[in-house]
């Protein structure tokens, strides 16, 4: 009567999740039908909860305790909630209900084949996990429950958790009637992730709401450390469209600190949180194949519930790996409630106008800038010291902190990752947060103004003082699209997901140099010629490449991740990647680089670009670049990735580069591969017809082209004022290139700064018939408006 097995059919009262047709039991049936592995078990129904309350005569007294409650009086709320829980703790489980629970537990143990098997006790409230509302952790769950008496106690405690202060406050905030809400308790076979790993995953990017990604977190041990924000987990991004096509698009993975491992101490029958072994901290807690399997399950779950609800339904999913069997399981799935509710046609773009003194850094949550006084608080009992609009700075948060968090302009925590409690609540509140900030309570000045910036990529930064910033809100639904393709210049993969949401035709210039410097950090020849490195440099290289089979595997993997993240973010729009274009003095700054780079008097017109790719002194480094591009296109399946050759002085040099590319497995025209050339030298203009025979298009590099046409070093104080892209000679060169290229069916774009700096230059290019203009993200909206006006003037 009060028990329903998850594998039963026709379940209609097993802890409702968003309505009677989405019960916990039904969810588990549906997941199993999708081929998703789910631990079996049973539910103590919501009717059992009502029966318990009724038999113990608690309904009237609970109503009396909640009458006259002041939601904003935190102490009053906490005291009333505590009294209600104590009443439930003191209640007796009716004998018939206890017999049913114990009988079901015995049957589950028999099926598992283990007497008094370990189980997990999970709560499911009827008002919990709706598509529009799901504050983190409203009711309690219990792990490693063992034996009938322990199970009865935990079921009762789960009933009582319907009246934690946070749950009562949540229902008031969301407008739910306390007595129309009931709670069922799921009892599942315990997945022994205490002996392996566990985590959470979302079927969109948690920071930007980008819908084409599965975002997966993983740690060693039980998953409570992620939810509670005690650790920084491993993180993985998988591209959904190409996963559906059968590719293996694990485009980005980042090793987390995984500071603690929550295990189970059998002798004392208690959970035990211990520092993670150094060796395991340096390892990913799941394999690439396991990441891809989890992602496939996540996509199947999202597709199923989207079809069922007849609307896009991103999901928030918990998973665990059994350390005894090695099998993966899904243990919970619920609707994602932040980005799924946002207006996807309106975008807010924050721009920090200047930088200041950096006080601390961590993981960025959200895409915003906030200013407020830093308020350091180590315990939620001290919340009276917190004023509305201040920046909350603390070690870690849990649901007890929510009254403060709702009044904060931003949140900073010393511990936690992007799926921690602090991160989840910050997103729901629409405020920025920086989590995993080591030493925040020591580094940030209590009571002083700080600026929180989460618009600079994956890293969130806390600056001293109040820095100026601007916010632009864009209505994408009513934004006109110019004839000219408006594209973006992108260098930092960490900003690609957010940048891709701006209105654009793709990426006209993806710079490889940022990935070299920030993600790889070592000269490619220091990896291919590792044996000649000095011992101190070898040690540094060893540290960077730890965990990889070979040194070059590290380079190819990191570069492919950086490129792949950009290509995935903008899929299916074109992404034009420029091969490495460091000058020799810039290459020399990479780890080990000084051993392989000549000293040049004028690196700007020295050994750079195309001339390096076929030269015996760098060709092996270029082959690594090609291997990374090939992985992105062939393994990830991201064929929207095109490539571009910089500083190609002659058509003959272009042919040599194409031949080396063929050696590396990249052949122009095969599998849709297009190869462009930078038009930044006078020879590219004067011999445009010959370059057009061997390349698919041109991209004007207006900075270098202007310097070389005018013979101006723009860094020279004495003649810098002569540098001007609007000079007639430069404009004539652009006109000639566009005419010659179009005669031969080749596209021409521009990726320099001039169109965004000078509206009249953009208008000139539009009049000449340029095909695309690629801009920095902060100028694309303004320049799009100017291009639209220029196109209207042409019609007039």
d(CA 277, CA 143): 23
d(CA 524, CA 591): 9
d(CA 117, CA 112): 8
SS3 11: coil
Cβ–Cβ < 8 Å for 138, 164: yes
Kind of pairing, strands 369-376 and 391-394? parallel
**What residues pair up with 237 in beta bridges, in sequence order?**
215, 252
d(CA 82, CA 79): 5
Cβ–Cβ < 8 Å for 487, 357: no
Of residues 395, 370, 387, 376, the one with CA closest to residue 461:
370
d(CA 235, CA 216): 6
Would you give the end-to-end CA distance of the chain in angstroms?
Answer: 78
Q: Give the Cβ contact number of residue 760 at 10 Å.
A: 11
| Alpha carbon distances (Å) from 681 to 615, 733, 765 | 20, 10, 18
**Catalytic positions, written as ranges:** 421, 751
Q: Give the Cβ contact number of residue 553 at 10 Å.
A: 15
Of residues 545, 575, 539, the one with CA closest to residue 557:
545
Of residues 170, 137, 168, the one with CA closest to residue 406:
170
Cβ–Cβ < 8 Å for 284, 218: yes
> In the 8-state DSSP scheme, what is residue 519?
I
> In the 8-state DSSP scheme, what is residue 244?
H
Output the six-digit token pair for 535: 């011992």
């Amino acid at each position: 009567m009060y028990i329903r097995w998850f594998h039963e059919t026709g379940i209609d009262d097993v802890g409702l999740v968003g309505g009677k047709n989405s019960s916990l039991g039904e969810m588990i049936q549906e997941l199993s039908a999708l081929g998703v592995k789910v631990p079996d078990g049973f539910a103590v129904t919501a009717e059992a909860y009502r029966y318990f309350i009724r038999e113990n005569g608690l309904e009237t007294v609970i109503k009396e305790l909640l009458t006259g409650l002041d939601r904003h009086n935190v102490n009053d709320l906490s005291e009333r909630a505590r009294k209600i829980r104590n009443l439930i703790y003191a209640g007796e489980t009716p004998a018939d209900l206890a017999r049913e629970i114990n009988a079901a537990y015995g049957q589950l143990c028999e099926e598992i084949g283990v007497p008094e098997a370990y189980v997990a006790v999970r709560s499911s409230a009827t008002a919990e996990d709706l598509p529009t509302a799901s504050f983190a952790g409203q009711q309690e769950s219990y792990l490693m429950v063992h034996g009938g008496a322990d199970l009865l106690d935990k079921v009762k405690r789960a009933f009582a958790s319907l009246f934690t202060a946070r749950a009562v406050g949540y229902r008031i905030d969301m407008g739910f009637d306390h007595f129309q809400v009931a709670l069922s308790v799921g009892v599942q076979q315990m997945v022994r992730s205490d002996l392996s790993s566990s985590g959470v995953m979302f079927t969109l990017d948690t920071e930007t709401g980008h819908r084409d990604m599965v975002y997966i977190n993983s740690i060693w041990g039980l998953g409570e450390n992620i939810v509670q924000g005690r650790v920084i987990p491993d993180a993985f991004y998988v591209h959904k469209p190409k996963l559906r096509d059968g590719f293996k698009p694990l485009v980005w993975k980042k090793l987390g600190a995984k500071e603690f491992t929550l295990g189970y101490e059998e002798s004392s029958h208690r959970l035990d949180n211990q520092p993670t072994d150094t060796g395991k901290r340096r390892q990913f807690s799941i394999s690439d194949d396991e990441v891809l399997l989890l992602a496939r399950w996540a996509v199947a779950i999202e597709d199923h519930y989207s079809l069922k609800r007849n609307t896009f339904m991103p999901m928030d999913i918990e998973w665990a790996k059994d350390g005894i069997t090695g099998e993966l399981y899904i243990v919970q799935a619920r609707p994602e409630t932040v980005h799924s509710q946002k207006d996807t046609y309106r975008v807010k773009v924050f721009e920090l106008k200047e930088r200041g003194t950096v006080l601390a850094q961590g993981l960025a949550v959200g895409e915003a800038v906030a200013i407020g006084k830093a308020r350091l608080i180590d315990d939620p009992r001290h919340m009276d010291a917190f004023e509305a609009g201040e920046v909350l700075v603390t070690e870690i948060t849990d649901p007890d902190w929510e009254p403060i968090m709702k009044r904060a302009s931003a949140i900073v925590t010393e511990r936690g990752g992007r799926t921690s409690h602090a991160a989840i609540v910050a997103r729901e509140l629409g405020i920025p947060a920086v989590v995993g900030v080591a030493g925040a309570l020591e580094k940030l000045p209590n009571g002083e103004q700080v600026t929180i910036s989460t618009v600079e990529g994956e890293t969130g930064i806390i600056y001293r003082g109040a820095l100026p910033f601007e916010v632009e809100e864009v209505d994408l639904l009513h934004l006109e699209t110019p004839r000219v393709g408006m594209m973006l210049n992108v260098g930092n993969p960490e900003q690609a997901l957010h940048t891709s949401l701006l209105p654009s035709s793709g990426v006209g210039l993806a710079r490889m140099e940022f990935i070299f410097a920030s993600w790889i950090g070592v000269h490619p020849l220091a990896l291919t010629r590792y044996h000649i490195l000095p011992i101190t440099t070898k040690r540094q290289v060893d540290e960077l490449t730890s965990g990889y089979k070979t040194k070059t595997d590290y380079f190819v993997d990191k570069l492919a991740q950086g490129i792949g993240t950009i290509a995935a973010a903008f899929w299916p729009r074109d992404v034009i990647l420029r091969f490495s274009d460091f000058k020799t003095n810039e290459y020399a700054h990479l780890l080990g680089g000084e051993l392989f780079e000549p000293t040049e008097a004028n690196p700007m017109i020295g050994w750079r670009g195309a001339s390096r790719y076929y030269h015996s002194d760098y060709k092996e480094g270029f082959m690594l670049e090609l291997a990374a591009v090939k992985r992105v296109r062939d393994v990830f399946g991201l064929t929207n990735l095109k490539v571009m050759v910089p500083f190609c002085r002659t058509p003959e040099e272009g042919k040599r580069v194409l031949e080396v590319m063929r050696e590396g497995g990249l052949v122009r025209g095969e599998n849709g591969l297009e190869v462009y050339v930078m038009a930044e030298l006078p020879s590219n203009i004067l011999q445009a017809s010959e370059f057009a025979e061997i390349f698919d298009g041109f991209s004007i590099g207006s900075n270098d082209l202007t310097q070389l046409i005018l013979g101006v070093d723009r860094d020279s104080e004495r003649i810098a004022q002569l540098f001007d892209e609007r000079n007639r000679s430069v404009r004539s060169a652009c006109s000639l290139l566009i005419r010659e290229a179009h005669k031969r069916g080749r596209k021409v774009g521009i990726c320099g700064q001039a169109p965004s700096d000078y509206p009249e230059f953009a208008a000139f290019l539009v009049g000449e018939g340029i095909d695309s203009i690629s801009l920095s993200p902060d100028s694309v909206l303004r320049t799009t408006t100017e291009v639209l006006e220029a196109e209207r003037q042409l019609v007039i």
